[in-house]
């Protein structure tokens, strides 16, 4: 018996997700997003957890956003609790793109302070998208505990997340400017300056902040 053309196309797309060539996996993910089918949500999420190529992962996320949130959010929340860092990170990234605030309770302090930088960065981005009105100060307080963490990209991600919360972060940043850790002080100063002057650029802001810390003053 000959397989219907539609089923053959689905079969090829499923095989494509496992192909050794990233270009083939990318086309397969595109196919699933172009013609959403809830039967394959589990497969897309499963692939997110192990896909090594950034662009393919991004296409997988896009494909998932093309499906109904009522069918994806709960499954993604299961992934957020995975023991595998990439599964957590990619699920958080996808939830931030879907923007369904039912996911907010899953953005725990443990995720916001996750030892894996990619997971933490994804959690920060998701948190500022999903945070309910009125809970921004609590979120800012948790995010501020991560000031000074990691290298340039991690610090930039945190600054962007804090800045997305608006000027209500200023008291939190002001307190961090007196922290005993010079990295925390410099990061807080750089974030505050970037908030006031978005065109300054993070690299410039952080280098200037380091000079301020070295001179022992936080005068603006």
pTM: 0.85
Three-state secondary structure along 146-191?
Answer: CCCCCCHHHHHHHHHHHHHCCHHHHHHHHHHCCCCCHHHHHHHHHH
Half-sphere exposure of 108 (CA within 13 A, CB side): 8
Q: What pLDDT, in 10s, does the model give residues 192-208?
A: 988 888 776 666 566 66
- Which phi and psi (to 5°) does residue 193 adopt? -70, -35
**For residue range 175-196, what is the model confidence (pLDDT) as tens digits?**
999 899 999 999 999 899 888 8
Distances in Å between the alpha carbon of 158 and those of 68, 97, 124, 202, 214? 30, 18, 7, 11, 22
Judge whether residue 211 has pLDDT over 80.
no
Q: Tell me: the pLDDT tens digits for 108-154?
A: 999 999 999 999 999 999 999 999 999 999 999 999 999 999 998 99
Domains of the chain plus CATH, in order, are: 9-130 (1.25.10.10), 140-220 (no CATH)
**160 with 191: CB under 8 angstroms?**
no
Task: Please check the confidence at residue 95 and state whether its pLDDT lies above 70.
Answer: yes
């Amino acid at each position: 018996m000959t397989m219907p053309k539609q089923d053959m196309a689905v079969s090829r797309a499923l095989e494509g997700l496992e192909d050794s060539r990233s270009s083939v996996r990318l086309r397969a993910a595109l196919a699933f997003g172009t013609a959403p089918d809830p039967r394959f949500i589990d497969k897309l999420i499963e692939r997110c957890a192990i896909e090594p190529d950034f662009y393919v992962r991004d296409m997988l996320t896009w494909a998932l956003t093309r499906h109904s949130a009522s069918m994806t959010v709960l499954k993604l929340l299961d992934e957020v609790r995975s023991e595998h860092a990439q599964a957590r990170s990619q699920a958080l990234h996808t939830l931030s793109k879907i923007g369904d605030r039912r996911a907010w309770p899953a953005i725990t302090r443990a995720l916001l302070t996750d030892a894996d930088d990619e997971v933490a960065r994804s959690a920060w981005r998701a948190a500022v998208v999903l945070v309910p009105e009125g809970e921004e100060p609590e979120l800012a307080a948790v995010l501020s505990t991560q000031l000074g963490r990691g290298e340039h990209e991690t610090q930039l991600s945190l600054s962007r997340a804090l800045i997305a919360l608006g000027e209500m972060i200023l008291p939190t940043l002001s307190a961090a400017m007196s922290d005993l850790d010079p990295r925390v002080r410099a990061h807080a100063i750089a974030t505050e300056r970037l908030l006031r002057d978005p065109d300054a650029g993070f690299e410039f802001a952080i280098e200037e902040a380091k000079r301020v810390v070295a001179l022992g003053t936080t005068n603006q």
